[in-house]
Structure formats: structure tokens, C-alpha cells
A and B are shown apart, each in its own frame.
Chain A
Amino acid sequence: MTGTFPSPLRLLVGTAVRSMCRRVVSLRDQSWLLLALITAFLSGYAVLAFALFYGGLRFIGRFPGLGGLLVERLLFLLFACLFGLLLISNLIVSYTNLFRNRETAFLLTLPVPRRVVFQWKLAESTVIASWAFLFLIAPLLVAYGLVHQVAWHFYPMVLLMIGLFIGLPGILGCWLAVQVARFMDRRTFQVALVLGVSLLVAVLVLRFRPTMVTEESLETARVLNVIDRLLDNTRFAQFPLLPSYWLSSSVQNWGEGVVRAALFFFCVLLSHVLFFGMIAVLWLGDAFYEASSVVHSRGSLLARWDWFRRREERQRRSSDPIARLSRPVLLETLLAWRGILAPDVRALIVKDFRVFWRDTTQWGQAFMLFGLLTVYIVNLRHFTRQLDSPFWISLVSYLNLGACSLNLATLTTRFVFPQFSLEGKRVWVVGLAPIGLVSLVRLKFWLTSWTTLGVTLGLILLSCSMLGLDAAHTLFFAAVIVVMTFTLNAIAVGLGALYPNFRETNPAKIVSGFGGTFCLVLSFLYIVGSVVLLALGSPWGWRPESVGEFRPYHALASGTAFLAISLLSGAVPLRMGLRRVAATEL
């Protein structure tokens, strides 16, 4: 009897495949412009990444005597870092997929064994968390193959190895997600995360101290010593128990035609995937259900703390608890200063700040993006000691401008763009309030612009300081980032109002539509265009031989062009967005 029915896992996989096919087919109904934009972006990435990897591998490979070693070490390092990233990605995706997913809850009420629900979610999470990995490293592996002139069978074999490799962080990430869910509530997890990241930063700071290179140490006899010291810092990637080590060794050996060694590492990888996969598939189902029950049974996190319980108790006993709760918070008091802002405007600002602060995703991503940039900029001081050429310093300062703006564009597209659509969903609260939707959109523009300006301006000033730039340079870059911050926010707010999606409640899905993609592309083009234009028309020259000459006419021309582009890119979408909002029937 059992054999006559399809297994639940087969049914679930079939349903997922069918849903995915429908998604692909429904692309026909999407805007052709959107499809063209996405295709152009993906192809552009693949071509550009391939060109960079190909050029880079050839360049490094040409170092006399060291080329091969450097390429080998870079591959070990790359796969080790990607393994770490895949593990984090799998942990996050698995947690969401196992414990915050409506399909999982639905399946748990059906006569589907917990083990099967877990198996299905493990497979789904691994694919979701890892597909981008394949896309990212494909150009590198093709470039590696071409540079090393490998045999044709290198490519399918590498695909197979990578397919196996992504299984390990998938299994480990899923197991970690189950343990985190079982034993840590959100507060404990956040504290553990902060402690873990702090520990990691401390280890990195202690371990990776900059190596000072002097003229003396670069003499032929001693240069090997310096390189050895530098490479020593990357030796962790060659720890033989790391799965990335097995993958790198297998890939490189296969590329070099040492098939026996490649097969050995392939078998090591395969045996680990099978072993841990078997454990996960057979035994983690019950642990998953246990963790799921715990996650859905947690009480208030704050209520675990005595001070919070005492405060709650005091408020309950208070003769007028409403009066206590309605005391203005610090932000409200600050905004109310001298009554410059109207009460409704203040209320909206406070609401937006609260929503941002309480949404871990928003501030987490903002913190991560700008945190990484800050770490990089702070570390520039080590490089500038060795970079005494004004050309390189000038180049790095423009690249920093680009990096800072790109980070901002990521955030404005991800968080500012969907804001109007989300407000539209809550039309009964804000849309019908006397403030009006047009004022609301304007307010959002000013609020996000001023808030993000604090971060971008701070980073650019820090960058100038680390690079040791003079006051004129600093003022120039500060003025540029101010204009760019307002323009990027205007693009996001304007296009967000122009292409709203009131049906969707998930901001990530709103962003993935035509408007969001257009916003990202326009922001990207604006940043690239502006940075290139400003660098080429730099008042301090851009060629190595011309750096240092002051060129006022070049500066005037490029500055005017930059302002015109900014005005066009920012004001036009914002204006069109405001017009659209004024005519919107909600």
C-alpha cells in the first residue's frame, strides 16, 4: 500500500519545482525593461568579474618564482572565506526557513514525519543560501581554467566538487540554527553575536598587524623573508581539516592534471558530506521539532530581567499609568525644541526612528555595511605610511568616495525605496491624516537625507583624515558627498513614490520589482558617472604626472557637470514621484 503513494519529500520537491517553473514562466508578464536591466546587470557582472579574475591571475602568475605560490594561496584564502560566509548565510536562512516560515508550520500539522519536514527545509535552505556562491565564483573558476589551460573535464568536475562543498556549510548551518533556536532567545543570541564579533575583531587585530616594509628589507635576499611573513598570515586557510582546503586542493590538483591527488581530496569531501548529511537527515528531525516548539513558546524577553518586571509592576500600580507612559522620550523632547517642527511631523519622525531601531534587519545591515567601510578606512593609515605618491592617495580618496556612495545606494534602495509602498499599506493611519501624502513623501526625503548624511559625511571626513589630505581636499570631498547623499535619497524616495507596490508587505519583495531594480541601477550609474567625472576633472590632476598641478578650469567644468547630473538624477525622479503621489487614489 505504501509503495503506491508518492513519498511526502517527493511531493514537496515536486511542488517547489512546479512553483519555480511558474515563476520563470511568469517572467513573460514582467516588464521587458526590467528583464533587460537584470540580464544586462548579470551578464555585466559575469563579464567584468571574468576579465578582472583573468587579468589578476595572469598578473600574479607572472611573479618570478612566486606566481604559482601566490595563486595557490589566494585560492585557499578565497574558499576559506567563502566557507565562513556560506556558513553564516546558511545559519540565517535555515533559522528563518525552519522557525519563521508559514510552510513549515503548515507541514507540521500534516501527517508528514518531522524528519521529512526537516530534510525538505535543509535542502531548500542550502539552495537558497548558496546559489549566489556559484554565480560569484563561476567567473573565477573559468578564468583559472583558461589561465592554466586545463582539460575540458576540469569544468564539470569542479561543478561537482562545488555542489558537494556547499552541502557541508548547509548541514552545519542548519544544525547551528537548530541549536541557536533551542538554546538561545533573541536577546541571548544578540549578546553572543556581539561578543563573538568583538572576539573575532580582537583576534584579527592581534593577528594581522601591518608589516612595515623598508627599502632595506626589499633587497633581493630579504624580500623572501617579508613575503614569508605576509603569507604566514594566510596560512590558516591551509588548515587540512577545513572543507575549503579539500575543495581548493581538489580543484588545483585537477587543474594541474594530478588526478589521483584531486580524487583523494574529492573523496574526503564526499565522505564528510555523506557522513554529516546522513546524521542530519536521519536524526535532526526531532531536534528541529523540539527547537520549533521552544521558539514558539518563548515569553517576553524583557520579562526575564528583574528591573523590567519591577518597572512593569510600578506602572501597573501607578495611579495614572497612561500619564507615565505618555512622557516624551528624549528624541521627542529634542524635536520639540522651540516648536520648529509641527507635532504631526515630529510624530512621523519619531515613528520612523522607532521602526528603524526595532527592525534588527535594517540597523543590522546598515551597521554591517558602514562598519566594514569604517574598518577599512581606519586601516588606511597603515597604507598611507607606505604610499608617499600623491597619485595613489588621490586615487584612493576617489575610490573611497565611490565605496561610501555605493554603500549608501544599497541602503537607500533596500530601506528608503519601499517606504512609500509600506505607508500606502497603512493608508488608514498616515495616508488619511491631515499631513497629506505629498508632505509625507517630502518629509521622508529630508529625514532620510539628513540622517544618512551624518554617516556618509563622517566617513568621508575620516577617509580624508586617514589619507592625510589637506583642508581644500577635505572640503571638496565633503561638499561632493553632501550632494551625492541628497541625490541618492531623492532617487530612492522619488522612484519609491513613482513605482509603489501597495499589495506587498515584505519590503524585500517590493525592492525586487521593477522600481527597486531601476532605483539600484540608476543609483549605480549616477555614482560611477559622478566619481569618474570628478576624478577626471579633479582640480589636482588625475594622471600620475599631472597630480599636484592645480587646474581650476577642469575643476569648474567637472563640478558644473556633476551638479547638473545630480540635479537631473535626483530632482527629476523626486518631482515625478511627488506628482504621482498627489494624483494617487488610495
Chain B
Amino acid sequence: MIELEDLVKHFGDVRAVDGITLTVPRGEFFCVLGPNAAGKTTTIKMMVGLIRPTSGSARVAGFDLQSQPLEARARLSYVPDFPFLYDKLTPWEFIRFTGQLFRMPEDRIRTEAEELIPRFSLEPWLHKPIEGLSHGTRQRVAIASALLHRPEAFVIDEPMVGLDPHHARIVKDLLRERSRQGMTIFLSTHQIEVAEEMADRVGIIHQGRLMAVGTPEELRRRAGVDGALEQAFLALTRPLDPPGAGTAMAPTGGVP
């Protein structure tokens, strides 16, 4: 469903993403972990077509984000860590607007919204201006809007930021449920416990490279540690030596 092929991105002299190859099949819940400035957000930006890769390609549902952007984006939803919402609209107006942009018929918008709105407890806020909502409520509006058209691939960056434990649970349950129904989920987070709980597979990005991919158990084995996934993460993301120093850990990028 999501295919990244030898994805490279340069920011001037800096190689922010360094040859990532990855395939996330239909219905998989994939979590990506990595330290700050590892290249996770840049990878996501290429994956949703916000920026052009320096080389390599990103495809969603078989459509290349650069050569067939409309087809790819019609099957995709992206929720960034601080999503954009129109402040002067109400949540209902925003949800409907998003549905219309995805060419959903009005009755389908209503049916889908009727399912999502109660799950995210948005009823009290539905007709109030978004500018007056708390960060957590805005986040719920953004996620509900993004799920409205039942995307085939759902890309989300730090979904739990600003959510209370109750709504964090609802988001996790809903994503799990959708994943079981066939939606591919690509979630980027710093919360290792979220990845451990939710993911079918976890990928670890470090210094622009995909260091390891596998189930939490496989990652532990690979890192040679027992216990929490955090230990495996720390072991796999030890600072690399600068390029050319000759002692860098061999990358495993490309393991699907």
C-alpha cells in the first residue's frame, strides 16, 4: 500500500533521508520511531507529496506521489503534529469541507460523521468556532476529518499530543479497528509504548537511515536486549560516527 523506494532527500549539504526503502502492506499498522532530527518528518513529507524527493520514489496504493499526485492523495490522509484548521469555521463545517474536497456525497459525509463525531465526543463543540477550541479538541477534529473518507493509507505524526488519556484510548482503538478493516496506518511517534502497544511492525529511523524494521520482538532480538522496547530503541540509535570515519553501524535499510 505504501512503498518507499530508495528515498533520498538533501537539505543543502545535509542528507536528511538517506536511501529509505520500505513497503507497508495493506492493513498493516506501522510505527516509525527515531530520535529528534532523524528524518521521520521529512520522510512523511515526501510520502504525502509535500516535498519532492532528491531521488527515489514514494507510492501510495500504486500511485506515485510525484507523477500521479491526485490519485495518490485521494487514497491518503495525513494529520501532522500541529494540524491546520480554519479558525473561523466550526468543526462540522470543517469536517464537511474536507469530505467535499474528497468528493464524498453529502449523505456519505453525514453517515461517516455520525459514526466519528460521537466517538471523538465532538457533539458539544460541533457548531462552535474552531478558534475557541482547546488543542486536544482541535486534534480530535483533525483526526475525525482525516478519517472521514475512509482513506486506504493514513499517515499521522504524533497523534497523542494534546489528547487526554480517554481520547488517546479512543484514537488507538479506532485506528486499530480501521487497520483491521484494511486501512494502512503509518504512525510517527516518540512514545515508544504507543508503538509497542499498537504496531504490527516498527521501523527505527536514525540519521536519515532506516536502521531496523520488524515486530517489537524482532527488534529486541536484533538489538540483543530483553524487556521494554525502549532498550532496543536506545541500542539501535546510538550516535553514528560521521560518514567516512569507518566505524558506523551497518545500516539495514530496505528490510520490508
A132 to B190, CA, bound (A): 47
- Contact: A111 with B51, CB < 8 Å? no
Stretch at the interface among B4-12, B180-188, B210-218: B4-12
Residues of chain B with a CB closer than 8 A to A105's CB: 50, 84
Q: Which of B58-92 contact A (CB under 8 A)?
A: 69-70, 73-74, 76, 78, 83-84, 86-89
* Residues of B close to A278: CB separation below 8 A: none
Q: Which residues of A contact B50 (CB under 8 A)?
A: 105, 108-109, 293, 296
Task: Return the chain B residue nearest A102 by Cβ.
Answer: B84
**Binary interface profile of B, 15-27, with partner A (CB < 8 Å = 1, else 0)?**
0000000000000
Q: Interface residues of B toward A: which range?
A: 20 to 34
- Cβ-closest chain B residue relative to A10: B100
Interchain CA distance A290-B100 in the complex, whole Å: 26
Is there contact, CB below 8 Å, between A11 and B49?
A: no
Contact among A19, A109, A299 for B14, CB-based, below 8 A: A299
Which B87-118 residues have C-beta < 8 A from chain A?
87-89, 93, 97-98, 100-103, 105
- A114 — which chain B residues lie within 8 A by C-beta? 69
Chain B residues near A19 (CB-CB < 8 A)? 86-89
| Residue ID in chain A nearest B12 by CB atoms | A299
> Is residue B45 contacting chain A, with contact meaning CB distance below 8 A?
yes
Q: Quick one: closest A residue to B129, CB to CB?
A: A22
Tell whether B52 is near chain A: CB-to-CB under 8 Å: yes
Using Cβ atoms and an 8 Å threshold, which residues of chain B touch A11? 97, 100-101
Contacts of B89 on A, CB cut-off 8 Å? 15, 18-19
User: B52 and A8: CB pair below 8 A?
Assistant: no
- Majority DSSP secondary structure for residues of A touching B: helix
Contacts of B83 in A (CB 8 A): 106
- CB pair A300–B73 under 8 Å, yes or no, is no
B79 to chain A, nearest CB (A): 9
Q: How far is the CB of B2 from chain A (nearest CB, A)?
A: 14
Asked if B12 and A296 make an inter-chain contact with CB atoms under 8 angstroms apart, the answer reads no
Closest chain A residue, CB of each to CB of B98: A110
- A113 interface residue (CB < 8 Å to B): yes
Q: How far does the Cβ of A7 sit from chain B's closest Cβ, in whole Å?
A: 10
Contact at A8–B101, with CB atoms within 8 Å? Answer: yes
Q: How far is the CB of A19 from chain B (nearest CB, A)?
A: 4
Q: When A11-B100, A111-B101 are in contact, do A298 and B11 touch as well, CB less than 8 Å?
A: yes
A15 contacts B11, CB within 8 Å? no
Residues of A within 8 A of B12 (CB): 298-300, 303-304
Is B13 part of the binding interface, using a Cβ–Cβ cutoff of 8 Å? yes
Cβ-neighbour of B100 out of A5, A18, A297 (below 8 A): A5
Question: A302 to nearest B CB, angstroms?
Answer: 10
Q: What separation, in Å, do the CA atoms of A299 and B54 have in the docked complex?
A: 13
Give the nearest-CB partner of B149 in chain A: A111
User: How many residue pairs bridge A and B at CB < 8 Å?
Assistant: 79
Complex partner residue of B102 from A23, A108, A110, CB under 8 angstroms: A110
Q: How far is the CA of A15 from the CA of B10 in the complex (A)?
A: 36
Report if B48 contacts A (CB, 8 A).
yes
Q: Measured between C-beta atoms, what is the minimum distance from A17 to chain B in Å?
A: 11
Is A6 interfacial (CB 8 A cutoff)? Answer: yes
C-alpha spacing A172/B60, complex, angstroms: 36
Beta-carbon contact of B70 and A111 below 8 Å: yes
Beta-carbon contacts under 8 Å, B111-164 to A: 129
Question: Which A residues lie within 8 Å of B97 (CB)?
Answer: 11, 15
Chain B residues lying within 8 Å of A296, measured Cβ to Cβ, are 45, 50-51
Query: Are A111's CB and B93's CB within 8 A?
Result: no
Query: A112-123 vs B: 1/0 string, CB under 8 Å?
Result: 111000000000
The verdict on A103 contacting chain B, using a C-beta distance below 8 Å, is yes
Closest CB in chain A relative to B241 CB, distance in Å: 13
A18, B86: Cα distance in complex, Å: 10
Interfacial chain B residues near A299, Cβ < 8 Å: 10-14
Give chain B nearest CB distance to A292 CB in angstroms: 8
Check A15–B86 contact: CB distance below 8 A. yes
Contact across chains for B105 and A111 when beta carbons are under 8 A apart: no
A216 to nearest B CB, angstroms? 65
Question: In residues 1-45 of chain A, which contact B (Cβ within 8 Å)?
Answer: 4-6, 8, 11, 15, 18-19, 22-23
Question: In the complex, A111 Cα to B70 Cα: how many Å?
Answer: 5
Please indicate the chain A residues that have their CB under 8 angstroms from the CB of B9 in the complex. 297
Residues of A within 8 Å of B87, CB to CB, are 19
A226 to chain B, nearest CB (A): 57
30 A-B interface contacts by CB (under 8 A):
A4-B105, A5-B100, A6-B100, A11-B97, A11-B100, A15-B89, A103-B84, A103-B86, A105-B50, A105-B84, A106-B84, A109-B48, A109-B73, A109-B78, A110-B101, A110-B102, A111-B73, A111-B103, A112-B101, A113-B70, A292-B51, A293-B51, A296-B51, A297-B9, A297-B11, A297-B52, A297-B54, A298-B12, A303-B12, A304-B13
Query: 4 closest Cβ contacts across the A-B interface?
Result: A299-B12, A19-B88, A106-B84, A299-B11
Known contacts A15-B86, A106-B84, A298-B11; 15 further A-B pairs (Cβ under 8 A): A4-B105, A5-B100, A11-B100, A15-B97, A18-B89, A18-B93, A23-B88, A109-B50, A109-B78, A110-B73, A111-B74, A114-B69, A293-B52, A297-B52, A300-B11
Residues of A near any B CB (own CB < 8 A): 4-6, 8, 11, 15, 18-19, 22-23, 102-103, 105-106, 108-114, 290, 292-293, 296-300, 303-304
